[in-house]
Structure 1
């Protein structure tokens, strides 16, 4: 099932924010060390910030 955005200016992303976070948490839970888990969580935070910045630029 594909998602249809309510606004035409919204672009379709392969993951919703929740799916991106859930995937990262699953990967972090299976990481071999706590440091690897932190790296995974940090990387997804950077991705979320970039997605938010892109969204902000589109609506300004």
Structure 2
């Protein structure tokens, strides 16, 4: 999903639920930053498994836009 598509499809309530536990703005101006607007990191890393070795997996705790 693109960020433009996320602006059209992701509701504020869905964004708030998806970012629970993450310190970030929770308003209409940032719904395009919804986790749904990005590819799952597991799929991205699996696609390049012959190039990389996963050593650590990080969890997002903050999102700064702007």
Same fold at TM > 0.5: no
Q: Which has the higher contact order (CA 8 A, sep 6+)?
A: 2
Q: Which bracket does the TM-score occupy, shorter chain normalised?
A: 0.3 to 0.5
Structure with greater helix share of residues: 1
Query: TM-score by structure 1 length?
Result: 0.40
